[in-house]
Structure 1
Amino acid sequence: MNSIFKIICVALIASSASAQHENHTQPEANATTAKAKSPRTSAMAMVGDNHVHIDYGSPSVRGRQIWNGLVAYDQVWATGAHKATWVDFSQDVVINGQTVPKGKYGFFTIPGPAEWTLILSRDWDMHLADDYKPEQDVVRVQVKPETQNDLTEALTYEVVPEGKHKGEIRMRWEKVGVSLPFQNK
């Protein structure tokens, strides 16, 4: 009886595989192997005892005009693709003279040709900047964008330690970069 059961199981498995082949269907696992155009990725580093983690969608230039094209000047941008970019500090930090308690924050920017506004918001879980509210801002910093000679095809973040107590969050895309300096409290 046991051997009949094994034969039936083998026949059912073979029949299922044959049906998938005949219907030109593929297992679901293969459907997720296609490369996303704006994959979700992360950057992180230890700055002293502070673990700094950034989660973001990383779009690519792909021949498009990025600044004042795909990304409008003078409008709030989620500084990544799809869901808003977020930053998590495991310890309190000081940014631009202001204490930012440990925790997770949305990282938004307002790009401009000569100046950018970098923003940490209490609201980190949203699609793009659809529900962005300035009253949720924890800190805003004005910075000058840095022009780079080399093209950065995919939007890239880095957490760069500068000694045990200081660091920077750096964002680069196309030929532009901005940095948000912070200090552990």
Structure 2
Amino acid sequence: MQNQLRFVLALAFAGLGALATSAAQAQFQAQTQAQPKVKPIGAIVASDNQGKPSPAATATGKAGSANVAIKYSSPAVKGRRIWGELVPYNQVWRAGANEATTVSFDKSVTVEGKQLPAGTYAFFVIPTEQAWTVIFNKHAKQWGAFDYDDRHDALRVTVTPRKAAMMERLTYTVTSPGVVLRWENMELPIAVR
């Protein structure tokens, strides 16, 4: 009798464990099917990490005849003053958050009238109250601007920012005249051909 009771209890526990495992698997499948890994938004692709403070994003398009891809993390304004405060003037900035922003060109291009070979570059800017320095650095894989070294610069150009409508999240757009960085109340158009 005692052996039969043990056998019945073992079957009951095994059944409950299988039921719990099946329910957990069904819940996981429902969650992964309900949330796609990549969500296209026009020419911008935002990854599946939208709950993060600065989610990863990619902007793609053509500038002249070159295909351009910009990978960046997109911080938000969140009521802060960005230019000259959160992003200090006269200092190298990663032009995003987390890893350094990267820009890839499949062909050689002209940026603000200066030649830049095809490749992938870390993208930095030095904002000031007037003209900004835009930097394409050969050391593409780096965290922020902490390891930035100007000896690896492939190109530096000067660009003038302009006032723009409020943009809560940092956004890049690739258009036929070039690339535009937008954030807070400013945009930085960079001519790329």
TM-score category of the 2 structures, normalised to the smaller one? 0.7 to 0.9
Distance 1:34 1:93, change over 3 A: closer
Offset at 1:64? Answer: 0.8
Which residue does the alignment assign to 1:50? 66
Q: After the TM superposition, which residues 77-88 of structure 1 pair with which residues of structure 2 at under 5 Å, given as runs? A: 77-88=93-104
Q: Which amino acid aligns with 1:111?
A: P
Offset at 1:8? Answer: 7.4
C-alpha distance in structure 2 between counterparts of 1:95 and 1:152, whole Å: 25
1:11 to 9, 16, 32: 16
C-alpha distance in structure 2 between counterparts of 1:48 and 1:125, whole Å: 26
1:168 to 161, 174, 178: 178
Offset at 1:181? Answer: 0.9
Q: Which has the higher contact order (CA 8 A, sep 6+)?
A: 1
C-alpha distance in structure 2 between counterparts of 1:111 and 1:122, whole Å: 20
C-alpha distance in structure 1 between counterparts of 2:132 and 2:138, whole Å: 20
Distance 1:70 1:88, change over 3 A: same
Number of matched pairs: 165
1:90 to 94, 106, 118: 106
C-alpha distance in structure 2 between counterparts of 1:100 and 1:152, whole Å: 29
Distance 1:137 1:34, change over 3 A: closer
TM-score norm. by structure 2 comes to 0.76
| Deviates further, 85-94 or 41-50 | 41-50
C-alpha distance in structure 2 between counterparts of 1:70 and 1:104, whole Å: 27
Task: Confirm or deny: 8 A CA contact 2:63 2:179 kept in the other structure.
Answer: no
Q: CA RMSD in A?
A: 2.8
Q: Which amino acid aligns with 1:182?
A: V
Which residue does the alignment assign to 2:129? 113
1:152 to 167, 189, 192: 167
Offset at 1:46? Answer: 2.5
Secondary structure, counterpart of 1:154 in structure 2: strand
Percent identity between the two aligned chains: 34
Distance 1:182 1:63, change over 3 A: same
Are 1:61 and 2:77 an aligned pair?
yes
Q: Which amino acid aligns with 1:156?
A: T
Between structure 1 and structure 2, the one with the greater Rg is 2
TM-score norm. by structure 1 comes to 0.79
Offset at 1:99? Answer: 2.1
C-alpha distance in structure 2 between counterparts of 1:140 and 1:10, whole Å: 67
C-alpha distance in structure 2 between counterparts of 1:53 and 1:151, whole Å: 24
| Deviates further, 137-146 or 43-52 | 43-52
Distance 1:143 1:90, change over 3 A: same
Distance 1:48 1:94, change over 3 A: closer
| Deviates further, 6-15 or 79-88 | 6-15
Q: Deviations over 1:126-155 (max 9, x none)?
A: 11100000111111111111012x210000
Offset at 1:82? Answer: 0.4
